[in-house]
Amino acid sequence: MSQLNTFINHFKTKSLRQLVANFRNEYISDGINEDTLKENPIDQFEVWFNEAVSNKLNEPNVMSLSTIQANGSPSNRILLLKGFDENGFVFYTNYGSRKAKEIEGNDHAAMTFLWLELYKQVRIEGVLQKVSTIESDTYFNSRPRGSQIGAWVSPQSQPINSRAELEKKVEEIEQRFKGIAVQRPENWGGYCLVPTVIEFWQGRASRLHDRIEYRLGENRVWTKQRLAP
């Protein structure tokens, strides 16, 4: 029976809620140990990120970013990580977007990575800072020309009347930069999430997962703590 027929038969006999509840996978792995994880969580992130890359996972740099609206409610979207180092975790976006306005009002944020095939999750909490204009320029200049033009074209998160409006703007911007390099628009650049909490989650059998959380103390030293799954 085709997968579609199986789905339709399930749907006929069960409620959709039951159907979703029945998706169930065991996460089998060796687990992680507070004694063997690196002292510095960014070094540990590097180990896991490299593992995601070497396993050829699709888009290993995909993450979700949560910011806080003026009324205190969270908002969340998927972004691409474009770099990390001892300072934190960098992504690029439009400085006039909804997220940017939320960050202006409250710079606290949270980022989550999921490397599902490895049964790994990393949660990061901290404060967002704009990266330097030089850093944004350097990254912008490395982007494909189409993406550079896209950054000029899209008033990200603003209502627009039609897709045609965007396509017309692409032509205008292409004319404007004909034969020359596309400059970074001032309203486009990077943010760095400067972390204070980083948690590594490793899925294990029977939902008895491993969670090791690092917290940055006032002495600027990271301490590790195992958490219940």
Ligand X SMILES: Cc1cc2nc3c(=O)[nH]c(=O)nc-3n(C[C@H](O)[C@H](O)[C@H](O)COP(=O)(O)O)c2cc1C
Q: Which residues bind ligand X (CB under 6 A)?
A: 62, 77-80, 91-94, 97-99, 156-157
As measured in angstroms, the least distance from the Cβ of 190 to ligand X is 10
As measured in angstroms, the least distance from the Cβ of 77 to ligand X is 4
Helical (H) or strand (E) element with 17: helix 16-21
> Which tokens sit at 88?
């934190």
Of 111 and 198, CB closest to ligand X = 111
Of 97 and 148, CB closest to ligand X = 97
Can you tell me the distance from the alpha carbon of 26 to that of 19, in angstroms, rounded to the nearest whole number? 17
Only one residue has tokens 């603003």, namely: 158
Query: What pairs with residue 109 in β-bridges?
Result: 126
**CB-based contact 192:181 (threshold 8 Å):** no
Give residue 96's identity as a one-letter amino acid code: G
**CB-based contact 93:100 (threshold 8 Å):** yes
Of 79 and 216, CB closest to ligand X = 79
- Here the contacts of 74-79 (C-beta below 8 Å, separation 24 or greater) are 75/99, 75/102
Of 155 and 216, CB closest to ligand X = 155
End-to-end CA distance of the chain: 38
Burial class from Cβ neighbours inside 10 Å (0-12, 13-18, 19+) for residue 61 reads middle
Q: How many CB atoms lie within 10 A of CB 79?
A: 16
Of 79 and 118, CB closest to ligand X = 79
- Selecting among 207, 211, 215, 220, the annotated active-site residue is 207
145 is catalytic: no
As measured in angstroms, the least distance from the Cβ of 91 to ligand X is 5
As measured in angstroms, the least distance from the Cβ of 86 to ligand X is 22
As measured in angstroms, the least distance from the Cβ of 64 to ligand X is 9
Which amino acids are annotated catalytic? Answer: 207
